[in-house]
Amino acid sequence: MDLSAHHTFGLPSQCSDWVELRSLAQVRAAIAVMEQPPLILGEGSNSIFLTDCDQPVWHIALPGIDVLGADTDFHYIRVGAGVNWHAWVEWSLHHGYPGLENLALIPGSVGACPVQNIGAYGLEVDQRLHSVCYVDIKNGQSFELMAADCGFGYRDSRFKQDLAGRALITAVTFRLPRLWQPMMAYRDVAMMFDALPTSPWQVFDAVVDIRTRKLPDPWVHGNAGSFFKNPIVSGAQAQVLTQGHPAVPMYPQANGYFKVAAGWLIDQCGLKGYRVGDAGVSPVQALVLMNLGRATASDLRTLIAHVQDQVMDRFGIALEPEPNLYGA
Ligand code: FAD
Ligand code: NAP
């Protein structure tokens, strides 16, 4: 199987064992005959194959959207892990269940949304989750983990920690508020409105518009979204950083730490548009690295190292890649 079409960065890569899982029965059957731990793949928008893959790749394609019911405050809706994220957001609005509009146009599958606790424009998905259903690949047992037990953090969860490579997420149950309120704290969204929006579709359209202008379409120009995590620094480090660079965008976190905008750091190093072979820094959003045509793994590795070195030299901050780099 050619993996270049199964990860949005689109580097050339092959795998010899590709399995498509469309039902719980197929998941159980695959586990029963498993000889080697699989690599679990949704739509590959947060995964980059730098080499050929010698593990079996299990592509999660479980369908289904089921409205489970409601209580006084929330609607509960279970969605199959293989459903496309943006299609689900659109479905929820069309059927009168708002609450996910700030997360419109994020590529990928529903099954991957809890893994890095996807977030954008002031909303993280854990704020809208009830629970996550998964099968433990080690023993075939099924579990439903409540959101409070998923260890959600900033772009983090137990599915990246102790449950990594073990939990195969089969469905996600959302908890959407019956009383809709627009989430307007994020500057780019707020700037699109003169008055508070009265419909979630207005927020949805605004987010789609902002994203379309700022981010390269991964199906046109290969990319994996934000390539580096926004570094979280201590209060003391933040003070040193602001003394040297008063304009640095920083956002206070709950624990006295600060989140630094990695894209700004890269931009300050003059790297917008910088390229190594066919791998380049987006000329519009410095946090996005792109495949400008026929990028190789070597182009991308050299580019990553260059960006990291420049930011380290100038700011003393180590940037860590956000996507999963297979074969690194
Ligand atoms: P994959 O890349 O296929 O997998 C990602 C990880 O999840 C892997 O570790 C994989 O093993 C695991 N995984 C996938 N499915 C399952 C499953 N069913 N069970 C267990 N583990 C699983 N992210 C944000 O948070 N916010 C954004 O605004 C955002 N914008 C983006 C914009 C662009 C243009 C792109 C290309 C990416 C963006 N991303 C963003 C990153 C990405 O879209 C998300 O991380 C998304 O949730 C990945 O989904 P996927 O199905 O493509 O995951
Ligand atoms: P941006 O608006 O240029 O802002 C740069 C960074 O500053 C963002 O990463 C954001 O952190 C932070 N920020 C801005 N306003 C903030 C606020 N009011 N409170 C807290 N933090 C704030 O970002 P962008 O690149 O255009 O992206 C817009 C949104 O889409 C962001 O939420 C971003 O995370 C998301 N996005 C994510 C990916 C991905 O692959 N992970 C790709 C594209 C876009 P946060 O990232 O924590 O929001």
Q: Which atom of ligand 1 is nearest to the CA of 103?
A: 28
Catalytic residues: 155, 226, 322
How many C-beta neighbours within 10 Å does residue 114 have?
A: 26
Residue among 101, 110, 1 nearest 56 (CA): 1
Non-local (6+) Cβ contacts of 199 within 8 A are none
* CA 263 – ligand 2 centroid, Å: 9
Q: Which atom of ligand 1 is nearest to the CA of 113?
A: 47
Ligand 1 pocket residue status of 103, Cβ below 6 Å: no
- Say what the pLDDT of residue 265 is: 98
Query: Which helix or strand (DSSP H or E) is residue 29 part of?
Result: helix 24-32
The pLDDT tens digits for 245-283 are: 999 999 999 889 999 999 999 999 999 999 999 999 999
Whether the model clears a pTM of 0.85, i.e. scores above it, the answer is yes
Ligand 1 pocket residue status of 115, Cβ below 6 Å: yes
Rounded distance, CA 140 to CA 224, Å?
Answer: 31
- Say what the pLDDT of residue 309 is: 98
- Say what the pLDDT of residue 255 is: 85
Non-local (6+) Cβ contacts of 142 within 8 A are 133, 134, 135, 136, 170
Helix, coil or strand: residue 61? coil
> For residue 10, what are the CA distances in angstroms to 69, 159, 224, 228, 306?
40, 24, 9, 18, 21
The pLDDT tens digits for 27-66 are: 999 999 999 999 999 999 999 999 999 999 999 999 999 9
* CA 226 – ligand 2 centroid, Å: 9
Ligand 1 pocket residue status of 82, Cβ below 6 Å: no
